[in-house]
Structure 1
Amino acid sequence: MISLSGSRLLPLGLSSNSPRRVGFSVPRKSGLDSRCSEQRNVVCGCMAPPTNLRSDGFSATRHNDPSKVGNFSIVREHKDDSDVLIECRDVHKSFGEKHILKGLSFKIRYGEAIGIIGPSGTGKSTVLKIIAGLLAPDKGEVFIRGRKRVGLISDEEISGLRIGLVFQSAALFDSLTVRENVGFLLYENSNMQEDKITELVTETLAAVGLKGVEDRMPSELSGGMKKRVALARSIIFDTTKDSIEPEVILYDEPTAGLDPIASTVVEDLIRSVHTKGEDALAKPGKIASYVVVTHQHSTIQRAVDRLIFLYEGKVVWEGMTHEFTSSANPIVRQFASGSLDGPIKY
């Protein structure tokens, strides 16, 4: 399934720090051959046909006893699961003797803007890689549009939903221009004419607030600009297809290392490409749902609507963003206040 020739997969984030290296070979139709022949890490989209998608919002998820640190009984207020795009059910993951995820369960619904937060080392980035198909859980199940994924993304082909992972480091190809980075998928794996790809790249860059940078190299960009180029690469798609699947984008620490102003720009751009927003060209966003892993309070406030709090490898609290600072859960309260006193120890 990860053979990109003729596939419906979408490579988004490419990084030498990714835990899985995948080699592939596809026919070239641009001048990228000499600079892109090495093995690459590939983050792809997959999944099952969408049915009965709706965007009617969602209710906060509450826990019956917020005074306890252990497992919480979760009361879900949804009448049905017809709008669930992705579900993690009792997911466990260990690396050697270190147990990272210990029975994690949650759902991502159509139209949601979700933030995954929690102390460092609690498995937030690991969750994204499991959802994206770069890691397989040791135990538990991942469902994509109601269909169980078995193994990694290359183990079986499921169509109907694209999943993109935007890495914390932006993960641009240093040897390619901005145009070649953003249009990489289309140059490598589409039947679009090169001038059409160039036009679409320019339009997509403009949608994330970048103009006139197509011929620059990544080394000539600021940190915030690199993040925006990575975002443009994640949302570009082949416009010649008869139908375009809905897309879920996973952002791993998108504002890490940025100053407050650059962070605000990226946070607003994440909002703008969502189905409920408008991009920099004042066009409706096309991203069905997104998930942001973050430690930044500004990102929590500006970029997401619902929060999932992880602690010791489990979901210990879920709720709307405005409920975060007023939660009675001692773990959440300590994290929100930054206090040294509480259950979280370093």
Structure 2
Amino acid sequence: MTDDIHIRTEGRAGRVTFTRPKALNALTHEMCLALDDVLKAWADDESVALVLIDAAGDKAFCAGGDVAAMYHAGKAGDQDAPRRFWREEYRMNARIAEYPKPIVCLMQGFVMGGGVGVSGHASHRVVCDTSRVAMPECGIGFVPDVGGTLLLARAPGRLGEYLGLTAARMGPGDAIHAGFADAYVPQDRWADLARALCETGDVAQITAMAESAPASDMAAQQERIDALFAGTRIEDVLNAVAADDGALAQDAAKAMARNAPLSMALTLDMVRHMRAPDTTIRDALATEYRVAHRIIEHGDFLEGVRAALIDKDRSPRWRYADGRVPDDAVTGMLAPLGADEWNFNGG
């Protein structure tokens, strides 16, 4: 058992606490496996009425996956280790989404990438004033994954495209508006909430303690977001924001200028396809894994992580830096993997 995650039962609750606050509770491979294993065990444990997941420290619930470890493996020529991490992390994400009992997540501070994969698919997602939820993967040459493309697709209007392409951070009101959270409970009441959940095993305690969330700036901007991000190709979106002198458009243009064009083109395509009727979490994860499987060799992931986290020069050398991404570059990354396709049972 890893020291980075504290697993126990308290009263009627199975409790999981991420304990890597100095690393913003970034998920390691071992943490993913430990969480998946205990969820399997608790699913059939009649003494556990609900699962409560929280995190140590004030800065982050979970700021993502341990991408530095994947970078070092990839640079050493080991593509299997990152692929195994993603396959097994995605299995855990699917298990949370399909879990037969309530899962409550208390989401303080940064909730990004892999943190969204844990919290975003839980049945009861609680935010507070410090919550900052985002999918920033395009900035490191990857794509929103961990089922994030499905969450983005279900956001109102074109908000999913906006969030995926700009990595905009959602405050508590925004997260609830976008469908990434359910309830706002002030953080100074979380200890009382956790105690009540453990004592009763009843998620109605959340409703009893919830308050009105702060207003959503993104909801107020929804009409403008929908207009700017309606394009079917990444070039269309880039042109739309470049032609608009409003603050929203100019902020979006600056954000997208920092991101990998191939990643943004893939994200746009994936979010649109995830809006198809009856799309499931497993569909999203299988599609995302096609990109993950190829991203080290054929994408910008290594370069993006290098620039952001390793050398920290913030000067990535992206493919298709002019923003013109060929259609076959997108279709190639999303093509079926044959025997390597992700699936819940064998992935």
Tell me the TM-score normalized by structure 1: 0.30
Tell me the TM-score normalized by structure 2: 0.30
Higher-RCO chain (CA-CA 8 Å, sequence separation at least 6) = 1
